[in-house]
Structure 1
Amino acid sequence: MSAPEDGIERIEARFRGNGFSPHRHDTYALGLTLHGIQTFRYRGEARFSMPGKVIVLHPDELHDGAAGTQDGLIYRMLYLPPELVGAASGHLPFLRDPVVEDGALWRALAQLLGDLQQEPDELALDDAIGQIAARLAQQAGSGRSKSKMLARPALLQASDLLVSESSRTIRSQALEDLVGLDRYELARQFRLLFGTSPHRYRIMRRLDHAKRLLRAGAGLAEAAAEAGFADQAHFTRHFRNSFGLTPGRWVGMRDSA
C-alpha cells in the first residue's frame, strides 16, 4: 500500500475467500485484476472481473469483495477523489457497468499502479488523471468537447521550460501560472501539439541529457543523477521503456561500433 497523497490512495490486495464485507468509499475506486477472478456485489448484482478488465466503482456505492476461485486473487486499486475527476472532465462520469474492457483506461491506471513503492511525479499524476477522466467520460457516454484552438505560444513556453529545467522538479502550478491554462487543459493541448504529455516530454529531455553525458564518458550513476533521475534504477527503467535496451547496453553498443 502506498501512502495517501492529495486524497489519492493506491493498494495491492491478495487473499482467498471473502476479502471485504459490504462497505462504501467517498472516492472513485478503480482497479486492475492481476490474478484470479474478482467477485463482488454491486447495485444488487453479482459482478466478476478477470485479468485484463478494469473495475470502476462510483463514489458512495455499496460493495463487497471476494476471490471467485480457490486459486486466490491479486488486484490493485486506485482510490481517486471525485473532485480530481471532476476537474479533469468537467463532470463526474457515471458508469452503469462496474467492469469494463478498455485498454486505454487500463494503461492509464497502470501508470499509477505499476510501482506502489514510488510516489508518482506530479506531472505524471496529472497526465494519468486526465487520461483516466477522459476514458471514464467516454465509457459513460459523456465525453468533454475538445479545445477548438490551441494556445500555441503558451504551449511553446511550457516546452521551453521543460527543456531548460528538465533535471529539476517542475510543479504543475508553475506551468499553470506560466501558460494561463489549468493543468488538465494544458495536458490535453500539449499532447495535441507535441504528441505526448508534459511529463513524458520532460522525461525524454532528461534521457537526451543523460545520453549526452554518457557519450562524454560519464558513468551510469553520474548521468542518472545529473539528468534528474531519482537513482540509477529509475534511469534504467525509463531508458529501457523508451529505447528498448538498458543504458549499459547502449553504451556498450556505441563503444563497439
Structure 2
Amino acid sequence: MRVEVVTPVPGGFPRHSHDEYVISANVDGWERVRLDGVCFEAGVEEVTVYNPGQVQSSVTETAGARPWSCVSVYVPVEDMLALTGGQPVEFVQPVLSAPDLRQRILAGAGGAPVDLDTILVDLLGRGVGGSRPAGPRPGDPRIAQVLRRLRDDLSAAVDMSEVATEVGLSREHLIRSFTRAVGCSPYAWHLQARLAYGRRLLREGAPIADAAAASGFADQAHFHKYFRAAYAITPGRFRASTSDKTR
C-alpha cells in the first residue's frame, strides 16, 4: 500500500480507472464525481472509495486561491486479499461522511505514522464493503465476451468493427450496449486497461519506451499524453517515485 498527494490537471480528472483500490480524502475544495454512471459530491468531511477497474471522472473546485488536491491510499488487490483472508471485497458505498477517518488519511501524507491496515478495517467495519461478484454482470453475455476479448489483448488498440462481428452485433449496437452495461465506451474501457497495464510495468521497473510499446501506444509521446491525463502525473515521474519507494 502507498499514500500519495494527488493534484489533477486544471478542473478535474477525465475518465480513468485504477487497478487498485483507492481511498481518498480531499485536502482543499470539493469534487463532483461520476463513478460507473452514478454522480455524487465529496467535500472536506468525506472519504471516497473506489474499487479496482471502476471508471471515474470528476470536476474539482476550491473557494480560495489554493488548488484542489487530495490524499489517496492505493491498495493492491493482493494486499486486500491478505487482509481479508482471501475474501474478495466490493466497496458498495463510494462516499461516506467520516471526518475522523479523513484526518488519519491526511496524517499519512504529512509523514505521521499511520497503520493503513487499520484504515481498511475501519472502512470494512462501517459497512461499506461486501462480497465482490465474480466478474462483471452485464445483462447481455455478449458484453462479457467483449470484456474478455479486450482484457486478453492490451498490446494494441482493438478494431471494434472486428469485435462486433465476432459477437454478432453491429458496431453501433455493440458500442451502445457496452456503454449502458459498463458505464463507458469499449474504446475508453480498453484505453484505461492499457494504461493500467503500462502503469504496472512502470512500477515493476520497465523503461518507459518498453511500457509504451507493450501497452499498445505508437510512441512515448502518445503514452505520455494519455498517462498524464489519466493519472495526473507523467510516466517518468511515476516510474521515479515508485523506484524510490522500492529501494
- TM-score of the superposed pair, with normalisation by structure 2: 0.44
Q: Which has the higher Rg, Structure 1 or Structure 2?
A: 1
Higher relative contact order (CA 8 A, sep 6+): 2
- TM-score of the superposed pair, with normalisation by structure 1: 0.43
